[in-house]
Chain A
C-alpha cells in the first residue's frame, strides 16, 4: 500500500488567499484525522471523520477552517482566508478503527503539508 498521501508537500501563499490541502487515506481505512503541528502548540487534532462523517471538529481553530470528506478515498482541509498564524505543518492520518473501536487500531500518518502564509 502507498500509505497516506497528502498534497501538496509545500504551500506558500499570501495572507487572505484560500488554501486547500488534500489527503488520500489508506484504502479500507474507516477513520481519518487532520492534525496541525506548530512549535508552540505541538501536534493538535483538528477534526476526525469516521466513515466519511465528521465526528469531532472541536479542534478546528475558527470558521476560517473547514474540512470535507466526500468519499472514502479523499478529504480536504480548506483555510479561507489564510493568515500568517496558520503557518504550520498539517498532517492527515488514517486508521482502520470503526467509531466504537476507539484506539484499537493504529493511526498512520501522511508526510504532511508545510504551509507558509506570508
Chain B
C-alpha cells in the first residue's frame, strides 16, 4: 500500500518570502502521479500542481514549483513570493498509474504573515 508523509504539521512564512513544504511517499510502482492540493479556510480543495513520475522535468505553475526526486521518493512544494492568500492547509497526494485512488498526506498548515 502506498503511504504519503508530510512531516511538517505547521509552517509560517513572511509575506513575499519563499517557503518549501516537504512530502515523501512510499510505493513499489514505477508509473504514478503526485499532486499538491490547497485547502484554504473556505474548505474548498484546490489543485495547485501535479507531477507525472515519468517526466524528469519539475512541474511549475506561476509561483508554485516542485522538487521531484524520484529515487528519494520526495516531492516538495516551493512557494515563491508568498502572499497572504496562500494561507491554507496543503496536502500532498499520490495516485498509482494503474489505480484511481488518491492517497493523501496529513497536511501542512501554512500561515503567511504580513
At the interface, is chain A mostly helix, strand, loop or mixed? strand
Complex contacts, B45 vs chain A, CB 8 Å = 91, 93, 109, 112
On chain B, the residues within 8 Å of A109 by CB distance are 37, 44-46
Interface residues of A (CB under 8 A from B): 31, 33, 42-43, 45, 48, 50, 55-56, 89, 91, 93, 97, 99, 102-104, 106-112, 114
Give Cα distance in the complex from A102 to B95, angstroms.
8
- A103/B106 in contact, CB under 8 A: no
Count of CB-CB pairs between chains A and B under 8 Å: 56
With A102-B95, A103-B32, A103-B97 known as contacts, the answer to whether A45 contacts B44 (CB < 8 A) is no
Per-residue A-contact encoding for B37-68, CB less than 8 Å = 1, 0 else: 10000111111001000000000000000000
Closest A residue to B31 by CB, please name it.
A102
Q: What are 30 A-B contacts with C-beta separation under 8 Å?
A: A31-B100, A42-B104, A43-B104, A45-B101, A45-B102, A48-B100, A55-B100, A56-B100, A91-B45, A93-B45, A102-B95, A102-B96, A102-B98, A102-B99, A102-B100, A103-B33, A103-B100, A104-B33, A104-B97, A106-B35, A106-B47, A106-B50, A108-B47, A109-B37, A109-B44, A109-B45, A110-B44, A111-B42, A111-B44, A112-B43
> Which B residue's beta carbon lies closest to that of A103?
B95
Which A residues are CB-close (under 8 A) to B102?
A: 33, 43, 45, 103, 107
- Minimum C-beta distance from B77 to chain A (A): 16
Tell me, in angstroms, the Cα distance from A114 to B44 when the chains sit together: 11
| Chain A residues, CB < 8 A from B75 | none
- Interface flag for B91 (CB, 8 Å): yes
Contacts of A97 in B (CB 8 A): 100
Bound complex: CA of A46 vs CA of B22, how far in Å? 27
Q: Which residues of B contact A43 (CB under 8 A)?
A: 91, 102, 104
Expressed in whole angstroms, the Cα–Cα distance for A106 and B97 within the complex equals 12
A104 to B35, CA, bound (A): 12
- Give the nearest-CB partner of B94 in chain A: A103
- Once the chains bind, are A42 and B44 in contact (CB under 8 Å)? no
